[in-house]
Structure 1
Amino acid sequence: MTAQDITDEHRRDAQTLWDYHRLGHEPRNTEAAIVLGSYDLGAARHAATLYHQGWFPLIVFTGATNDYTIDVFPQGEAVAFHTAAMQAGVPQSAMMIEDKATNSGANITLSRQLLIQAGIVPTSVTLIAMPFMERRAFATCRAQWPEVEVVCASQPITFADYLSSSADPRHVICDMVGDLQRIIEYPKYGYMIEQVVPEEVHAALKRLIVAGYDSVLPKS
C-alpha cells in the first residue's frame, strides 16, 4: 500500500493520532541524549543535528532488532543508528551503544545502566525517537526513570511528508495505533505514566482499529 492508497477518512484519523503523539517540546540543554531504535534513521540524523547545535555532549543509541527491523538492520538498530550519526559527523567519543533493548522500557532502563556503568548519572536527558513515538517515550521514561528531567525531540516533519516518504505507510499508521493503545493500557502495569487521551483521539483510534490498522496492537 502506498500513501495514495490510504483513504481520506483514515488519513484524517491518522493525523489526529500523529498530532497527539507529538509533544512539541522546545530543545533544552541536557546532559545526554537517548535515541530509541526503530526502522527510522531520521531519529539518528536528527540526534546528530541537535548534537552539532550543542544541546547535549553525549548520545546513547539503544535497540536490538525486532521482527520488522531484523531485515532492515541485521546488525541491530543501535549499531545502524550509530553508523548514521557517525556519517553525519558525530565523533565516536560522543557516542555509546546499548544493543540489547527490545522494547521502550528496556531502551530507558538499559541506557540508564550503561550511563551509570560509565560513571555518568545525568539529571536531564533528551529522548529522540520517531516523530509519533515522542509521547510513548516520554511516558515510559517518566515511569522508569522518574528522577530525571526529560525533553523529547524528533525529526521536524509533517505527517503528510512522513507518510509519503515511508516505504510502508500502512505500517506507520499501524504503529501509531499500537503506540496509542499502549499509552492507554500500559500505565496499569507501571510501564508508563498515565496520560490524558482526549475523546476525539479515542474515537479516531477506534475507527482505525475497525478499519484494520491493528497489526501492531499489544498482545492481550
Structure 2
Amino acid sequence: MNFVDIEAPPPQDEPTAHFLFGTNQTQPAEIAAQQYHKGLAPLIIASGGVNRHTGIVEAHMFRELLIERGVPDSVIRCEDQAANTWQNVEFSFPYLQEALESGLRVTAVSKWFHRRTLHCLATAVPDIGPFYAMSWDPIYAGRVVGRTDWLDVPDGKRRVLREWEEVPRRVSEGSFRDVTLVGGAWQS
C-alpha cells in the first residue's frame, strides 16, 4: 500500500503554506500549529464545510484549534464551503495562489492514505510546482487506522482500498493529473 501513502514532509528549514484538508478530526490543526511554532508554517489554509457526520464546519473548527494553540488569526485563511476533496482545493484556490505568489511551496496535511489530495492539488493548481505532504493516522469507529493495521479496521480497509482503486482509474481516464515523488517532493 505504499502507493497511497502521501508522506513527504518539507525540509526542516523550508517554511511552506500548510493546506489542511477538511475533516472532523483535530490532527491537521495540531500538525500545523506545531509547524507554525517552529517557524515553518507562515500561512495556514484551513478548508472544509459542514461535516456530514457531525455538523461542524471543519474550517471553523481548525481556526479555533489553531488560535487556541497560539497561531495568530492573521496567518490563517479559511475556506468553509467545501463538501469534498476536490472542492477543498477548488474553493481554496485564491489562498493557494496567495501562497505561490509569495514564494511559498505548499504542504498538504491529510490522512496518510488520502492520495486524492495530492492529485486534486496537482490538477486544480497546475502551477503548484513541487509540493509536500504531512500525514496523520485517522480514527474511525474508535480505532486508529495506521499504516500497519488498516486491514484490521473495516472503515480503514474500505477507505484505503478506495484510494488504491480510484486514483489510478482517474489518472488513466484523465480527470486527475498524475503525481510522483521525486527528491522528497510530489510533482506532476
Question: So what's the TM-score if we normalise by structure 1?
Answer: 0.65
Show the counterpart of 1:51. 36
Moved more, 75-84 or 21-30: 21-30
Q: Secondary structure at the match of 2:136?
A: coil
Show the counterpart of 1:121. 101
Show the counterpart of 1:209. none
Q: Which blocks of at least 5 consecutive residues in structure 2 are unaligned?
A: 181-188
1:31, distance to aligned residue in structure 2 (A): 4.3
- Aligned with residue 64 of structure 1, among 30, 44, 49: 49
- Alignment pair present for 1:162 and 2:144: yes
Count of residue pairs brought into register by the alignment: 169
- Counterparts of 1:126-145 in structure 2, within 5 Å, are 126-133=107-114, 135-145=115-125
Distance 1:146 1:174, change over 3 A: same
Show the counterpart of 1:112. 93
Distance 1:92 1:147, change over 3 A: same
Q: Which blocks of at least 5 consecutive residues in structure 1 are unaligned?
A: 1-16, 197-220
CA RMSD of aligned residues (A): 3.1
Task: Tell me, in whole angstroms, the C-alpha distance in 2 between the residues paired with 1:138 and 1:119.
Answer: 17
Q: C-alpha deviations, 1:18-51, integer Å up to 9, x for none? A: x432233132324421110123221221111112
Q: C-alpha deviations, 1:177-219, integer Å up to 9, x for none? A: 22222212222454422368xxxxxxxxxxxxxxxxxxxxxxx
Instruction: Tell me if structure 1 keeps the 8 A contact 2:35–2:41.
Output: yes
Distance 1:162 1:148, change over 3 A: same
Show the counterpart of 1:205. none
Show the counterpart of 1:186. 170
Show the counterpart of 2:26. 41
- Alignment pair present for 1:174 and 2:155: no
Larger radius of gyration: 1
Amino acid at match of 1:105: W
Task: Tell me, in whole angstroms, the C-alpha distance in 1 between the residues paired with 2:84 and 2:174.
Answer: 14
- Alignment pair present for 1:27 and 2:7: no
Question: So what's the TM-score if we normalise by structure 2?
Answer: 0.74
Show the counterpart of 1:87. 68
Aligned-residue sequence identity (percent) comes to 21
Show the counterpart of 2:183. none
Instruction: Tell me if structure 1 keeps the 8 A contact 2:122–2:179.
Output: no
Q: Secondary structure at the match of 1:43?
A: helix
Task: Tell me, in whole angstroms, the C-alpha distance in 2 between the residues paired with 1:175 and 1:119.
Answer: 30
Show the counterpart of 2:186. none
| Higher strand residue share | 2
| Higher helix residue share | 1
Q: Structure 1 segments of 4 or more deviating over 6 A? A: none
